[in-house]
Structure 1
Amino acid sequence: MADSVNFVVLGDQEVAASLGKKGTATDMTMYDKKEAGVIRTYTTPSGFPDKVQPLLQVINLAEYVIFHVNKLDKFVGEQIIALDMLQKKNGLLSHTYDVDENTLNTMIKNTVLVNYPRITQDKIKEESDKLSQISKEGNARVVIDHCFDVKGVGTVILGKVEQGKIKQYDTLKLLPAGIDVLIKSIQMHDDPVDEAVSPGRVGLAVKGVSPDQVGRGDVLCAPGPEQISTEIEIDFAKSPFYKGDIAPNQMCLINVGLQIKPAKFLSISPLKLTLEKPVLYNKGDICVILKPESTSIRLLGSGTIK
């Protein structure tokens, strides 16, 4: 079975096209390659900077970061803050010659990016190829990023085996909906396989659910510690870069994994949120609060779910 390594490519997103072959393209675009028994996937938030949501989603999909900075602006700042909030500690940092290194150093000070090895652009492929698979043991869990209908096949789900292992003919629960879903077949890098382990990217032909019942961020899993709720409390830290005030009854969006949900502040200390639609989480998951309409930074702050 091939190993799998998943990258998010930030800064200059064009870098991804030199690393793999273009595949699924929506507000996130995926490039992949299979080389020496390893499938590497490089995902860019192609809907960013117009929208901040895809940025958080693609970071959550990756084990590793490739950050090639080609200019310094508020959007680079947002990417740095997002990586730090989501605690993405494994990455590579490079920049073009016209980027001022001192300014970049100031921007990444006190963030996880301080520990990223600095490399030149021509070394991105070589250095990223050295990074190996990071698997997560536990109950089978697939996080979904796309779902559509394929003529003659039916419902097809694209996602990442976040944890554990899945096999052909497994029946898993689609959460938060609670629907039983049978896996008819599994593909990895367009090749049929009988099983897939974390953190493999998979295409699943499934039975028991239609595409309109599946949303990005939904999870296919064996029963485990997942919790579903319309009210959460988080151990919140506000971003020093967000200048607005937050108050009870204000609306916002929250991001947990690949889920993006509208929410309202119930209380500020402790920070409690109420949601129109249930969110799926494990205790300790990171929740990022965002305000897409903000004219400055769109990331308010983050914290772990209690």
Structure 2
Amino acid sequence: MSNITVAVLAPNGFSDALGKKGTTSDITFYNLKRGESTVTFIEPTRYPEKLSSLFYTISLADRVILVVDEITATFGETVLMLQCAGKAHGYIIFRNYLSPDQIAPLIKGTVLEHYETIENDPVGLREKLLDAAAKMTAHQKAKEGGNGGTLPIDHHFNVKGVGVVVLGCVTHGVIKKHDSLKVLPTAKTAQVRSIQKHDDDAETAVTGDRAGLALKGIEADDLDRGYVLTNDQAIKCSSVVTGRAQLIKYWPAPLKEEMVIYLGHWMQFLPARLTKVTAEGDWRMPELTFTLEKELVYPPGARMVLHYLEGGKLRVVGTFTLP
């Protein structure tokens, strides 16, 4: 079975025509299946009220569907988030008589410049994405093994007769039934009792899969969104991180110490106090040190999105890359 996850950045409910509605919270999942191919659609249900809703949706995605029916500050913020998250594969649907030339100046030099313009045809779009998922199989299997698997948790709950179940997308590697996984940033471990992918039992979950894991050895109260299940020894946790930032070209002034910036990585959207700023030359590319109350979980070389929730209409700051 192969899966691709698609962020649907459109009016809420657009995905009703694309898949069957599943888990709903500040992000809403829709599922589509044909044979061994599956597509997971995600909508940012609480955006623009909650910027985290947009970040989570985009962070999880392999591809993007962007519906443009008006040019607003929200559209601009979405473009900035996609650029900072590096989401290079996507489709644009124009409505309300808008055309590509009207947004061309706004997306020039961004990842959206290479998105494919498509018709507002749900049937055709479903087929296009299922075909793309089918072609992922060989690529995914080539990634199996390696240094173990990693799954950030986006939802968790108790199921009667099953126990603790977590939902998430495998970022890399493979997770197998009966694996013992660290539950980061805690010191706990949990064993995989069983795996489901789109309601089918499975022995493994590999890179790109959306999976439900039934766990033993841990309680639901021990878990939270953003926690990471992994047996990859390279994954780190820290409450102090230092790295290089690149601020967006629209950001008006240098960042200052004591600002509270939200770090977005995987399913984490954590407040962090800026404790040191070193800018030699270009102030848009400073070295930053952040201190967090809750430990950040990340692999070496992780790239994150910086958010400033007090920024009014400009809440996306730029990117932050760790060594």
**Fold-level similarity (TM above 0.5):** yes
Residue 282 (structure 2) aligns with: none
Is the aligned partner of 1:113 residue 2:112? yes
TM norm structure 2: 0.89
Shift in Å at residue 244 of structure 1?
Answer: 5.7
Gaps of 5+ in 2: 279-286
- C-alpha distance in 1, partners of 2:296/2:239? 6
Kept in 2, the 8 Å contact 1:12–1:70? The answer is no
- C-alpha distance in 2, partners of 1:129/1:15? 18
Q: Please, which of 289, 292, 310 is the counterpart of residue 272 of structure 1?
A: 289
- Sequence identity percentage: 31
- C-alpha distance in 2, partners of 1:39/1:303? 32
**Any idea what SS the aligned residue of 1:131 has?**
helix
Residue 18 (structure 1) aligns with: 17
Residue 175 (structure 1) aligns with: 184
Deviations 1:70-109 (A, max 9, x none): 2211111111111100111111112114325333111111
Q: Please, which of 144, 157, 167 is the counterpart of residue 166 of structure 2?
A: 157
The residue identity in structure 1 corresponding to 2:320 is: G
State how 1:85-164 maps to structure 2 within 5 Å: 85-122=84-121, 123-132=124-133, 133=136, 135=140, 136-137=143-144, 138=146, 139-164=148-173
- C-alpha distance in 2, partners of 1:229/1:293? 25
- C-alpha distance in 1, partners of 2:201/2:70? 41
Residue 202 (structure 2) aligns with: 193
Gaps of 5+ in 1: none
- C-alpha distance in 1, partners of 2:293/2:224? 15
Kept in 2, the 8 Å contact 1:93–1:117? The answer is yes
- C-alpha distance in 1, partners of 2:295/2:60? 21
- C-alpha distance in 2, partners of 1:209/1:73? 45
The residue identity in structure 1 corresponding to 2:159 is: V
**How many equivalent residue pairs?**
305
Deviations 1:188-223 (A, max 9, x none): 111222222221111111112222221222211113
The residue identity in structure 2 corresponding to 1:128 is: L
Kept in 1, the 8 Å contact 2:10–2:43? The answer is no
Shift in Å at residue 224 of structure 1?
Answer: 2.1
Residue 36 (structure 1) aligns with: 35
Distance 1:154 1:244, change over 3 A: farther
The residue identity in structure 2 corresponding to 1:233 is: T
- C-alpha distance in 1, partners of 2:232/2:130? 35
The residue identity in structure 2 corresponding to 1:20 is: G
Residue 209 (structure 1) aligns with: 218
- C-alpha distance in 2, partners of 1:103/1:243? 25
Residue 253 (structure 1) aligns with: 262
Residue 305 (structure 1) aligns with: 322
TM norm structure 1: 0.94
The residue identity in structure 2 corresponding to 1:205 is: A
The residue identity in structure 2 corresponding to 1:202 is: A
- C-alpha distance in 2, partners of 1:265/1:76? 28
- C-alpha distance in 2, partners of 1:224/1:91? 33
Kept in 1, the 8 Å contact 2:37–2:130? The answer is no
Please identify, of 199-208 and 286-295, the stretch whose mean Cα deviation from structure 2 is larger: 286-295
Shift in Å at residue 245 of structure 1?
Answer: 5.1
Kept in 2, the 8 Å contact 1:234–1:287? The answer is no
Kept in 2, the 8 Å contact 1:140–1:222? The answer is yes
The residue identity in structure 2 corresponding to 1:49 is: P
**Any idea what SS the aligned residue of 2:208 has?**
coil
